Structure 1
Amino acid sequence: FARMAVEGQAAASAALKATDQEIRKLKRILRTDQEAVAKGSKEIFAQINEQFHLGIARASRNVYLEKWVINSFWRSNIYIFYFDGFYKAPVREEIPPQRTPSQHLAILKAIEERNPEEASLQMQEHIRNTYELLLLGR
């Protein structure tokens, strides 16, 4: 998947170039991310997920990566909104458990530790896990 490569590179670059202020902002976003999943708030979760991924792309300081991430994020989200059980579940009790908050936390931890290889790996794994869940149901 091209999105894995591009967002992995954006995360690696963010690990090297993100400011402390950007990292603090991503931490605030993650707190809201976890709360949205716990409450089953699909709209807020979608907004927070976008803020997290695009925030990392901005922190990469690479306008080309940022533009590509924006385009691929929205293109893939069409499928995610349509197929992901979190968004399809009509009521809170039917929402499947989510791995996204813990995966986002691992990505941010690597960025905060200024570890570009780990940031890239965690981002790629996160995107791969999302697609596997959608396409293979695992």
Structure 2
Amino acid sequence: MELNEQRPEDYIYYYIRQQIIARELYPGNKIVEEQLAAETGISRTPIRAALKRLSYEGLLVSYPMKGSFVAMPTKKDMQDAYECRKLLEAEATRCASYHITDEELKELEDIFDQQKLVHRTHDMHTFLEINEKFHLVIAKASRNSFFQKYIQELTVRCNVFLLFYDKFQVTPLEDSFAIKEHRIIIDALRQRDPEKCYNAAVQHNQSTLDQLNKDKL
């Protein structure tokens, strides 16, 4: 989007994210506010708001008197995040098998169709947004507010690893394990089979972690 179509804070937020996706910014690089202001014509106040948002999501780290830097997520960070997410999503998906409505299943199918379309364009921004919606529909269907809260937070955190290490932009749709496993999860939910739902969610998170570890090497 052009700047005049977005709030300045949102523009800077996506501007920096795109530089990370394009590997124009690397882990450890400093974000220079003056340079951002010169490049975009945006004042320091919305720039700082965007940096704060990116720090909250884990893409940046900020230090007093030093500034903001592109995060340097470790293999241990990634392992811990996905182990926690695997446990939460497995149980949330199992619970969702008892409560999910036909309307929510239709919503998942619609999101799944969007994912396939976006994957073909290799638009990672949009794919991550749609992917987050997919997982949050399931968390909501668990009818457990704590699952919703913590799965949302973990999804945002895990996006950091996907942005840095996933080979989404060079992976053809037919080779995407994420798309295939989302199909399995939807089918298990449609069958209202709690064991299949639990196992599908475990497998999906483990596959993601295994692939990220492979891509990171």
Q: Tell me the TM-score normalized by structure 2.
A: 0.58
Are 1:47 and 2:151 an aligned pair? Answer: no
Helix, strand or coil for the counterpart of 2:192? coil
Partner of 1:35: 117
Alignment identity in percent? 28
Per mean C-alpha deviation after superposition, the further-off stretch among 33-42 and 108-117 is 33-42
RMSD across aligned positions (CA): 1.5
Structure with the bigger percentage of strand: 2
Q: Deviations over 1:97-129 (max 9, x none)?
A: 321111001001101110111111111101110
Structure 1 counterpart of 2:141, from 59, 67, 70: 59
| 2:112–2:182 contact (8 Å) kept in structure 1 | yes
Count of matched residue pairs: 132
Which is higher, the Rg of structure 1 or of structure 2? Answer: 2
Separation of aligned partners in 2, 1:83 and 1:39: 19
Alignment of 1:1-138 (within 5 A): 1-86=83-168, 89=169, 94-95=170-171, 97-137=175-215
Q: Tell me the TM-score normalized by structure 1.
A: 0.89
Letter in 2 for 1:76: C
**Runs ≥4 in structure 1, deviation > 4 angstroms?**
none
Separation of aligned partners in 2, 1:27 and 1:81: 25
Q: CA offset at residue 37 of structure 1?
A: 1.2
Separation of aligned partners in 1, 2:101 and 2:131: 20
Question: Runs of 5+ in structure 2 lacking a partner?
Answer: 1-82
Per mean C-alpha deviation after superposition, the further-off stretch among 77-86 and 33-42 is 33-42
Higher relative contact order structure (alpha carbons within 8 Å, sequence separation ≥ 6): 1
Structure with the bigger percentage of helix: 1
Q: Deviations over 1:37-79 (max 9, x none)?
A: 1232222211110110111001110001111111111111111
